[in-house]
Structure 1
Amino acid sequence: MDKSLDAQSAPNAYARATETAQYVRSQLPESLQNPKLAIVCGSGLGGLADTIEPEPKIEMAYGTIPNFPQSTVQGHAGKFVFGQIGPQKTPVALLVGRAHFYEGHTMDLVTFATRVCKVLGVETIIVTNAAGGLNQNYRVGDIVCLNDHLNLAGLVGIHPLRGPNIEEFGVRFPPLSDAYDLDLRRRTHKAWVKLGLDQQQRRLHEGVYAFVAGPTYETRAECRMLNMLGADVVGMSTVPEIIVARHAGIRVLAFSLVTNVAVLEAGSRGNDTEIQTMSKAELTAHLSQGKANHEEVLEAGREAAKDMQALVKQIVSDLHEE
């Protein structure tokens, strides 16, 4: 039997998510047991957990939760945080850190937390990530509200819904033309203005996210290709979670923090006149221009954290004033 298909089987996946949700609920006070909102905190954005009230607040390390995958990436704390957010004390579940496909996890495990959120009663999920800017109008530190995606891995078969359909969660062929909730995006732009963030240097965009498997950052040719295909940002997460969330009927709002601007120009040729007299050190510096690194991702996350936190908190407050 194909073990990858067996791992995706409906009884197994649903049963595991239910078992995990039951354990999580058993660790929570009654006021936090049925969160309607979940927030996924991407690289460098764990500070979003500071948006919730100090009491009641429950933290669970992923390693203590049955069936949960472990995050091994710097900048991902790896904990489930439950609390209340905003004036209305909205119960919220925060995933501080996520599992990635490039860490060796199956797609089933990469999206497992999203399914647990569904069983817990989550109706809306806000997903954040750090991403490279392909759109040359973007600057480091800008925030992109996603309105569509390119699932490069999924188009070649690495898809979170591959295998027998899990009927308890959703239909066999879910549409994704409405994946990024238009009402939530409208609220985002209104909140940005309400907070006065439109008066400062950091900008809010809407754009398309390209999902690639990683863990290497993209080559110059790959960046040009993705840009030509219509992608504005590129990263190694988020899309599998969004697909599974929409499969389960959860509304989605997603943000990318631009942590580096991708290099689209072709690299120098070995016979270019300008490089013939360069030393090895000069050649290294020349090739390093615009090169992405994880430390840069985390630093950009720290700088933008306050604006991202304020924006998310305002959106949640506005959403629950109705």
Structure 2
Amino acid sequence: MMKKKVICLLAALILPLLLPPSLARSVIIERVVAIVNDQVITLTELQERAILIRQATGNPNIPLKEILKHIIMETIQVQRAKELGLEVPDEVIEDYIKNFKRENRLTDEAFQKLLREWGIHLEAYKNEIKRRILISKLVNIEVKSHIAVPEEEVREYYEKHKDKLYLLSAKAKIADIFLPWGGDRETTLKIAQSIYEKIKLGKSFKKMAALYSRGPYAQKGGEMGWVRKGELVEDLDHFIFSPETKAGDVKLVETPQGVHIVKVLERQNRNYIPFEQVKKEIEKKLYSQVAEKRYKAWLDELMKKAYVKVLL
């Protein structure tokens, strides 16, 4: 049966060659580059699709043979979608184009100009959109709707990868009094040491920060909020996150920029992002991995059942 259909298709394409010249002039001869079941793919179609595919991928050098292979796979999927009675209403395509124009801030005239620059007709562009939506519908029905990722697999992935992907470094809540070096380094250091000694004797860190700090947090009593290990200069980082440092500890630290008097208000050692916080993200990742494998297997099966003859 399939062989008869193919012969009929070829006959329809060869017949104009046998017509008298007066009749043959009105017939456009198309070169066939592939036959997929009972459907032909012409050179014109291949060239039009090549423009869109190269444009979409941003790669102008994809060989025609590779593009033809892609078109054949799409054609088989579209044929399967039609077997199932799937359709794409015209209004869906129009909405897609409207969204495309809105997102890219294109007027109708600018959109038409873009199509001319690409070298394609509006109808070819609409057909491309229709194919994409139709195939998406088909894959959702025949592949994706049958995929479920059990929670135990999600948790197993989390436990296996948490040290690499979900580890949070230690953090500390700190307050800081900062004195830049200025012109006289020795005087600046003496002032800083005097402030430090007063704090050690019980003076309010907040009040001393408001009075003496030249840092951006002076009016907040020096409170900088939470910082993570590795965010500050090495000397500050070393004191704040040293195993010996406890909440309430204060230290004078010299840096290239000036003198800091740092107080550790709270400390949290390294921990992990909670499972519930990343559960959806992991589910999505595992789902995509399974979907990719299932889609490939499903498409391979469709390809095996199809009659394909490449003539390019």
Structure (1 or 2) with the greater helix fraction: 2
Structure (1 or 2) with the greater strand fraction: 1
TM category (shorter chain) comes to under 0.3
Q: TM-score, normalised by structure 1?
A: 0.24
